[in-house]
Homo-oligomer: A and B are copies of this chain.
Amino acid sequence: MSFEAAVHAQAIELNRLALDMTAAAGSGHPTTSMSIGHLVTVLMFHTMRWSPEYPDYPTSDRLVLSEGHAVPAVYAACAKLGVMIGKDPSKRRKLTVDELKKLRDASSELDGHPNPMEGFPFFDAATGSLGQGLSVALGLAEAAILDKTDRRVYCIIGDGESREGQIAEALDQLVDRKLINVLPIFNCNEYGQTDRVSPQQSAETLAAKLTAAGFEVKTVDGHNPAQIKAAFDAFAALTPGKKPMAVVASTVKGWGAESVQGNGWHGKPPTGDQLKRALAELEQKRVELTSSLTSQDAFTIQPPADARTPDYATGELPPLAQTMKQMDMESVLQAGTLATRRAYGIALRALCKVNRDVVALDADVSNSTFADMVRKDASMADRFIECKIAEQNMVSVAAGLSAAGKIPFVSTFAKFVTRAYDQIEMAINSGANLKIVGSHAGITLAADGPSQMSLPDVAWFRSFSTVKDHRGNPGCYVLQPSDAYAAYRLTEVMAEYQGCCYMRTLRAETEFIYNDDVVFNLGGFEVLAQGRDLVICAAGYMVHEANRAVELLDKAGVSATLVDLYSLPFDTDALLDLVQANDGKVLTVEDNYGGGIGSAVADALVDSGDGFQLKQMHVRRIPKSGRTIDDLLKMCSLSAEDIKKNAMQLLGV
């Protein structure tokens, strides 16, 4: 059988299976799948160098399906090829065609959208929330370069999906970074969910936009095997210095079955007579386009290159004092204050020295987050990825890096992290080993005003801390170091942990509270003053303000216990014991909106059923600019005096 006929035969088979499995599931997107049957066939049966036996082999070429709802096409190909699946890596089995009918079942690895953590290691990341896949592909491509492997990364993107701004961000980043090992493939099937795709995302306009953005564009008929192969061959032949490439494929949504084409068939599996008719139309196509039955004989999948074991070991992070000495920064340490964001930068650089897997990403603010300490060090500058002002892309690139075994640290202002919350959630769903560091957190940023302040961030990240991830750990740890030592060590703790962490750092210079002997743990807290009348829980900057309040209270005859609650979640039992020893009274103090530390403590207290009392202090108005930190603390009623007043009220004195 000719290559062309073999591709048609296989694509038709994938389309048939897409119809069958979505009909069995009672939901799904068969027509989108059918638009990529040929592209998937050429990629998975011919172009990609990979192994169905080891779908996550470290040097394999990768396929990122950005338009995740087209996944039945890939499931079908995997079933035909007997790709290994299974949640437990030691107990994987070959996917069979029979199993396709379990699509979307609670017991099945074949989730509604690509979902590697549910047992489908062919995929690197969960997709389905649109527009994120190309960024993930960029992360995989960056990791391949760092690892000196010639892995290629293919990414299929829907036309409607490419309206998402993140796609534009990823395209710019691809050109900026001169990545010739990743290929964006635009699947232009012309129909979205409710209507036709906008002319702004037509094959012609996309091609024009890509050309303007600096791409060599190959426009192909996405159902023409020879044209597809030629485009992929041209991509494989790219050499450094050449323009990056993109493929714009004109396709038909529901290819092969006219009765399910056009508007009204998005996400709707035909059943009964409609299914029969569609299958009959496909069969007719087979007769037209192929001379014999489906056969894989015409295909040979090239295996991936042998993976090498990394020739480097991970070292220990030295104490902060030692690192500072090495950097000729001892005077800074002696000054007695150091911003936690700067301590993070110092830690990140020191980490890069001892751990080759650590990669730093920033969004044009590295001189504010201090991630530029990596950027400016020539010995590690290749592990700094400048993402410019495009936070969504940055986070998904990090997810891709993580999927390739890297430990990505993503930094920008905590406020601007918000831009990528959906990408962070998808990364958590992907099991990504993602470290997010948001600087200038809370109201103490002061002068720049609320457009630069992170305020509901603790509530959002805390929500993930109430959930177990696929490894049985909290979905996210929220970390708020109050001094440089804490920030330095917690950066190391994050690197050592496998999973998602969010650390808030501060613009302000803060006094030292700790030293190199203090151990910080995920889930831990520190008791900074041991009293008996009430517990004050604070984190980050507010520890310092609470500390001043403890002194004021002491003068007023009140003995307060001060807890630096630097981690969410925290050791609930230990905190409850402390509270019990303090007459059951707690005051929480935060520099953000509610739903954060205060609610976390409230959750713990009322779960116990004892008669505890909690007063929460947090930002209760939309703040504005003020020139000093104290202006803001006063504006938001969070000064040491306010804390004292609230403590007295709580005690009824």
In the complex, the answer to whether B449 meets A113 with C-beta atoms within 8 Å is yes
Chain B residues with CB under 8 A of A421: 418-419, 421-422, 460
Q: Check A447 for interface membership: any CB of B closer than 8 A.
A: yes
Q: Check A290 for interface membership: any CB of B closer than 8 A.
A: no
In the complex, the answer to whether A624 meets B176 with C-beta atoms within 8 Å is no
Partner of A611, one of B366, B447, B609, B614: B609
In the complex, the answer to whether B105 meets A626 with C-beta atoms within 8 Å is yes
In the complex, the answer to whether B212 meets A198 with C-beta atoms within 8 Å is no
Residues 134-164 of chain A, each 1 if its beta carbon lies under 8 Å from chain B, else 0: 0000000000000000000000000011011
In the complex, the answer to whether B425 meets A456 with C-beta atoms within 8 Å is yes
Complex Cα spacing A201 to B167, Å: 15
Complex Cα spacing A169 to B418, Å: 18
Stretch at the interface among A2-10, A311-319, A388-396, A484-492: A388-396
Partner of A212, one of B164, B208, B465: B208
Of A197, A607, A625, most buried by chain B (CB within 10 Å of CB) is A625
Q: Do A607 and B616 form a contact, CB below 8 Å, given A199-B176, A213-B205, A364-B194?
A: yes
Chain B residues with CB under 8 A of A175: 200
Q: Check A618 for interface membership: any CB of B closer than 8 A.
A: yes
Residues 575-606 of chain A, each 1 if its beta carbon lies under 8 Å from chain B, else 0: 00000000000000000111110111111011
Q: This chain: how many copies in the complex?
A: 2
Residues 113-137 of chain A, each 1 if its beta carbon lies under 8 Å from chain B, else 0: 1010110000000111111000000
In the complex, the answer to whether A367 meets B193 with C-beta atoms within 8 Å is yes
Partner of A452, one of B118, B128, B469, B470: B128
Instruction: List 20 A–B pairs whose Cβ atoms lie within 8 Å, in order of A's numbering.
Output: A106-B631, A106-B635, A112-B451, A112-B452, A117-B622, A129-B418, A161-B389, A165-B166, A165-B392, A193-B365, A205-B213, A415-B422, A418-B425, A459-B462, A463-B594, A465-B594, A467-B593, A467-B619, A607-B615, A609-B611
In the complex, the answer to whether B113 meets A452 with C-beta atoms within 8 Å is yes
In the complex, the answer to whether A475 meets B622 with C-beta atoms within 8 Å is yes
Complex Cα spacing A198 to B171, Å: 13
In the complex, the answer to whether B475 meets A464 with C-beta atoms within 8 Å is no
In the complex, the answer to whether B603 meets A130 with C-beta atoms within 8 Å is no
Residues 348-378 of chain A, each 1 if its beta carbon lies under 8 Å from chain B, else 0: 0000000000000010111110001000000
Partner of A448, one of B118, B128, B168: B128
Chain B residues with CB under 8 A of A199: 176
Complex Cα spacing A488 to B394, Å: 40
Complex Cα spacing A458 to B614, Å: 22
Complex Cα spacing A621 to B451, Å: 33
In chain A between 391 and 430, which residues have their CB closer than 8 angstroms to a CB of chain B? 392-393, 415-416, 418-419, 421-422, 425-426, 428-429
Chain B residues with CB under 8 A of A160: 364, 388-389
The contact size tier of chain A is: 35 or more
In the complex, the answer to whether A598 meets B594 with C-beta atoms within 8 Å is no
Q: Do A448 and B208 form a contact, CB below 8 Å, given A595-B595, A627-B104?
A: no
Q: Check A225 for interface membership: any CB of B closer than 8 A.
A: no
Chain B residues with CB under 8 A of A624: 106, 111, 115, 118
Chain B residues with CB under 8 A of A172: 163, 198, 200-201
In the complex, the answer to whether B627 meets A603 with C-beta atoms within 8 Å is no
Q: Check A523 for interface membership: any CB of B closer than 8 A.
A: no
In the complex, the answer to whether A466 meets B620 with C-beta atoms within 8 Å is yes
Chain B residues with CB under 8 A of A632: 106
Q: Check A25 for interface membership: any CB of B closer than 8 A.
A: yes
A positions within 8 Å CB-CB of B: 25-28, 68, 104-106, 108, 111-113, 115, 117-118, 126-131, 160-161, 163-169, 172, 175-176, 192-195, 197-201, 205, 208-209, 211-214, 362, 364-368, 372, 386, 388-390, 392-393, 415-416, 418-419, 421-422, 425-426, 428-429, 447-452, 455-456, 458-460, 462-470, 475, 592-596, 598-603, 605-616, 618-622, 624-627, 631-632, 634-635
Least distance between A87 CB and chain B CB atoms (Å): 10
Complex Cα spacing A128 to B465, Å: 30
Least distance between A621 CB and chain B CB atoms (Å): 5
Q: Nearest B residue to A459 by beta-carbon distance?
A: B463
Least distance between A422 CB and chain B CB atoms (Å): 4
In the complex, the answer to whether B451 meets A128 with C-beta atoms within 8 Å is yes
Complex Cα spacing A108 to B631, Å: 12
Least distance between A367 CB and chain B CB atoms (Å): 5
Chain B residues with CB under 8 A of A627: 25-27, 104-106
Least distance between A444 CB and chain B CB atoms (Å): 14
Least distance between A286 CB and chain B CB atoms (Å): 29
Partner of A593, one of B458, B466, B634: B466
In the complex, the answer to whether B389 meets A130 with C-beta atoms within 8 Å is yes
Partner of A168, one of B165, B416, B609, B615: B165
Chain B residues with CB under 8 A of A194: 362, 364-367, 372, 386
Complex Cα spacing A616 to B603, Å: 8
Q: Do A192 and B388 form a contact, CB below 8 Å, given A106-B624, A200-B213, A464-B593?
A: yes
In the complex, the answer to whether B200 meets A176 with C-beta atoms within 8 Å is yes
In the complex, the answer to whether B449 meets A112 with C-beta atoms within 8 Å is yes
Chain B residues with CB under 8 A of A456: 425, 460, 463-464
Partner of A129, one of B388, B416, B469, B618: B416
Further 17 A-B residue pairs, CB within 8 A, beyond A193-B365, A462-B594, A463-B595: A105-B625, A106-B634, A108-B625, A113-B449, A127-B451, A129-B416, A165-B165, A172-B201, A193-B364, A194-B365, A421-B421, A425-B456, A456-B463, A466-B595, A466-B620, A467-B619, A605-B606
> 7 shortest A-B CB distances, which residue pairs?
A165-B165, A466-B594, A128-B451, A611-B611, A106-B626, A456-B463, A609-B613
